[in-house]
Structure 1
Amino acid sequence: MTQHADVVVVGGGQAGLAAGYHLRRQGLDFTVLDADAAPGGSWQHMWDSLHLFSPAEHSSLPGRFMPAQVGETYPGARHVVDYLTDYEKRYDLPVQHGTRVDAVRPAGDHLLAEADSGTWRARAVISATGSWSRPFLPAVPGRDTFTGRQLHTVDYRCPADFAGQRVLVVGGGNSGAQIAADLALDGHVDVTWVTRRPPRFLADDIDGRALFDVATARRRALDSGRSDTGGVASLGDIVAVPPVRAARDAGLLTAKPMFARLTANGARWDDGSRSGADAVIRCTGFRPALAHPAPLNLRGPRGRIPTDGTRALGEPRLHLLGYGDWTGPASATLIGAGRPARDAVRDVARLLSS
């Protein structure tokens, strides 16, 4: 059976909820289809010790400030899940959980969103699926010979899972630094942190508030034809959140260069040195989860869909939210999700009224 809505939002995480908020304010008929069985987006799958980069008051979606977490300057992932759950309920957003959209395809003057529970016919689609469901694992020499566990950021939960083991943590970004620090501070895991280039820590007083301002300033410069400021990448790669700072200052977070290859029981470097390992955790990032719009044939370089703001250039009935700076400054963050969502919904409203 085919169901109908003016707008279908694919994804019920932070970006999808921000879109839902603005769609509700516009009085549009919409539904949100979310693959997760419960509210909270990707935050419900994060590792146990993860905290935000910013205080609660600077980590809010439109219309509702995130309450502070008692005893914490930077809220934890579980607190964020509770906030998103409350947000969904507070604004009575029509989210259908446990509904995975497999394809979005054209059908005359409509788009069809084909889900595992049926098909939705819509005049516009907002894609907000993020990237957590699509971890990136670059090829590593010797990967098939290593006999230990090989994991990605998405598989990590807590140090207790690796007690008494030797663990290689690969990646010089925030996830790599935070997971390496989490394991090192526990004291029961032998951690080796490996990065492709020397780690670049941001100044200790920089958190998500400053990063959002920097990302916004870069977007404005580019939009006005001025030279690229470099954005957040010009400041460094790693936010020195308290656990990272503690591990670094204790001498527990010293990175080794990238190994040449994995061996049966560890890794080997170009100089012949070796390190044993029972597990490798590869914090090597993500790619946009954009398999569902494939029938629209919009994919451009690096797997991205070319956009004007959030609107797909090749299909004006499709908007993309929350995939990074290319769909809005810091749009993959809580505080950055609201403005692109507002702009996308305004554009959708104009489309539907024309």
Structure 2
Amino acid sequence: MTRTFQVVVIGGGQAGLAAGYHLRRQGIDFTILGADPAPGGAWQHMWDSLHLFSPADYSSLPGRLMPTQPGETYPDAGHVVDYLTDYEKRYDLPVQHGVQVEAVRRDGGRLLVEADSGSWRARAVISATGTWSRPFVPAVPGRGLFTGRQLHTVNYRSPRDFAGQHVVVVGGGNSGAQIAADLALHGDATVTWATRRPPRFLPDDIDGRILFDVATARRRALDAGRADTGGVASLGDIVAVPPVRAARDAGLLRAQPMFSRLTATGVQWADGSRAETDAIIWCTGLRPALAHLAPLNLRGPRGHIPTDGTRALGEPRLHLLGYGDWTGPASATLIGVGRPARDAAAQIAQLLSS
């Protein structure tokens, strides 16, 4: 059976919920298809010690402030899941959980959304699937030879899983620094932190509030034709959250150059030196989860779909939300996704009325 709505939102996480909030305010008939069986989006899969970069009152979706978490300046991932669950219920958002969308196709004057549990026809689609389901691991020589454990950021949960082991953490971004710090501070593991370039820590007083303002200022400058300010990247790569600061200041967070290859039992650097290794955690980033849009043939450079704001240039009935700055300033953050979600809903309302 094929169901029909004015709009189908693909993705039940923070971006999908923000889209639903603004679609409801526009009086649009819509449904939200979420792949996870429960509310909370990617936050329900984060590692145990993860906390936000920003206080609760600066980490909110449109219409509803995130409540503070007792005893915590920066809420943990579980608190975010509770907030998103409450948000979905408070606004009675029509999320269908456990629906895996497989393809979006053109179907005459509508778009056809095909999933494992059926299909939906819509006059417009918002894709808000994020990046968590598409981890990236670089093609390092010898990766297939290594007999130890390999996992990605998305699979890491707790330092308890690596007690007594030597762990190599790869990646000079936030996840690499935080997981290396988590292992060094709270586990019984020996940690080597490998990065392609020396890590760049942001000043200790910078958190998500400032980062959002910087990202927004950069987008406004670009939109106005002014010089690129460099945005967040101009400040550094790693937010010095309390555990990262503690590990850094204790001398436990010292990066080593990236190794050149893997061996059967560990890693090897360009100078021939080696380290026996039990596990490698690849904190090497994520890519936009856009495979369901392949039938539309919209892919551009770097795997991105060219957009004007959130609207796909090659398919005006499609909006992309929450994948990063290319779909709105800071749109992959809780506080940042509200504005592009509002703009997408307004443009879709205009499309529907034409």
TM-score range, shorter chain: over 0.9
Quote the Cα distance in structure 1 between the aligned partners of 2:353 and 2:144: 56
Aligned residue number for residue 239 of structure 1: 239
The Cα shift of 1:291 comes to 0.6
Aligned residue number for residue 59 of structure 2: 59
The residue type equivalent to 1:199 in the other structure is: P
Q: Which runs of 5+ in 1 are unaligned?
A: none
The residue type equivalent to 1:270 in the other structure is: A
Q: Does 1:136 align with 2:130?
A: no
Quote the Cα distance in structure 2 between the aligned partners of 1:276 and 1:69: 41
The residue type equivalent to 1:131 in the other structure is: T
The residue type equivalent to 1:278 in the other structure is: D
Q: Does 1:96 align with 2:93?
A: no
Quote the Cα distance in structure 2 between the aligned partners of 1:23 and 1:237: 34
Using structure 2 for the length normalisation, give the TM-score. 0.99
- Residues 187, 11 of structure 1: CA spacing in aligned structure 2 closer, same or farther, 3 A cutoff? closer
The Cα shift of 1:144 comes to 1.2
Residue pairs, 1:264-303, within 5 angstroms: 264-303=264-303
Q: Does 1:252 align with 2:252?
A: yes
The Cα shift of 1:187 comes to 4.3
Runs of 4+ that moved beyond 2 A? none
Q: Secondary structure at the match of 1:345?
A: helix
| Cα displacement string for residues 181-222 of structure 1 (whole angstroms, at most 9, x for unaligned residues) | 000001401000000000000000000000000000000111
The Cα shift of 1:264 comes to 1.1
Whether the 8 Å contact between 2:168 and 2:194 is mirrored in structure 1 is yes
Quote the Cα distance in structure 1 between the aligned partners of 2:179 and 2:223: 36
| Cα displacement string for residues 257-311 of structure 1 (whole angstroms, at most 9, x for unaligned residues) | 0001111111111112211110000000011000111111111011110000000
Quote the Cα distance in structure 2 between the aligned partners of 1:199 and 1:12: 34
The residue type equivalent to 2:188 in the other structure is: H
| Cα displacement string for residues 160-190 of structure 1 (whole angstroms, at most 9, x for unaligned residues) | 0000000000000000000000000014010
| Cα displacement string for residues 119-153 of structure 1 (whole angstroms, at most 9, x for unaligned residues) | 10100000000000000111011111111001000
Using structure 1 for the length normalisation, give the TM-score. 0.99
Whether the 8 Å contact between 2:159 and 2:187 is mirrored in structure 1 is no
Quote the Cα distance in structure 2 between the aligned partners of 1:108 and 1:272: 60
The residue type equivalent to 1:137 in the other structure is: V
Q: Does 1:318 align with 2:326?
A: no
| Cα displacement string for residues 222-267 of structure 1 (whole angstroms, at most 9, x for unaligned residues) | 1111111100000000000000000000000000000011111111
Quote the Cα distance in structure 2 between the aligned partners of 1:202 and 1:246: 14
The residue type equivalent to 1:282 in the other structure is: W
Quote the Cα distance in structure 1 between the aligned partners of 2:72 and 2:235: 26
Aligned residue number for residue 158 of structure 1: 158
Aligned residue number for residue 207 of structure 1: 207
Identical amino acids, percent of aligned pairs: 82
More divergent stretch after superposition (259-268 vs 33-42) = 259-268
Quote the Cα distance in structure 2 between the aligned partners of 1:116 and 1:144: 32
Residue pairs, 1:33-48, within 5 angstroms: 33-48=33-48
Q: Secondary structure at the match of 2:336?
A: helix
Quote the Cα distance in structure 1 between the aligned partners of 2:119 and 2:268: 51
Q: Does 1:180 align with 2:180?
A: yes
Whether the 8 Å contact between 2:104 and 2:114 is mirrored in structure 1 is yes
Whether the 8 Å contact between 2:160 and 2:187 is mirrored in structure 1 is no
Aligned residue number for residue 23 of structure 2: 23
More divergent stretch after superposition (272-281 vs 177-186) = 272-281
Quote the Cα distance in structure 2 between the aligned partners of 1:128 and 1:108: 23
| Cα displacement string for residues 27-76 of structure 1 (whole angstroms, at most 9, x for unaligned residues) | 11000001000000000000000000000000000000000000000000
Quote the Cα distance in structure 1 between the aligned partners of 2:44 and 2:183: 20
Whether the 8 Å contact between 2:53 and 2:241 is mirrored in structure 1 is yes
The residue type equivalent to 1:280 in the other structure is: I
Aligned residue number for residue 122 of structure 1: 122
Q: Which runs of 5+ in 2 are unaligned?
A: none
The Cα shift of 1:350 comes to 0.3
Quote the Cα distance in structure 1 between the aligned partners of 2:321 and 2:234: 24
Quote the Cα distance in structure 2 between the aligned partners of 1:147 and 1:186: 26
The residue type equivalent to 2:329 in the other structure is: P
| Cα displacement string for residues 7-29 of structure 1 (whole angstroms, at most 9, x for unaligned residues) | 00000100000000001111110
The Cα shift of 1:116 comes to 0.8
Q: Secondary structure at the match of 1:179?
A: helix
Quote the Cα distance in structure 1 between the aligned partners of 2:168 and 2:293: 36
The residue type equivalent to 1:61 in the other structure is: L
Aligned residue number for residue 196 of structure 2: 196
Whether the 8 Å contact between 2:143 and 2:262 is mirrored in structure 1 is yes
RMSD between superposed Cα atoms in Å = 0.5
Quote the Cα distance in structure 2 between the aligned partners of 1:189 and 1:228: 43
Paired residue total: 354
Quote the Cα distance in structure 2 between the aligned partners of 1:143 and 1:2: 44
Whether the 8 Å contact between 2:162 and 2:187 is mirrored in structure 1 is no
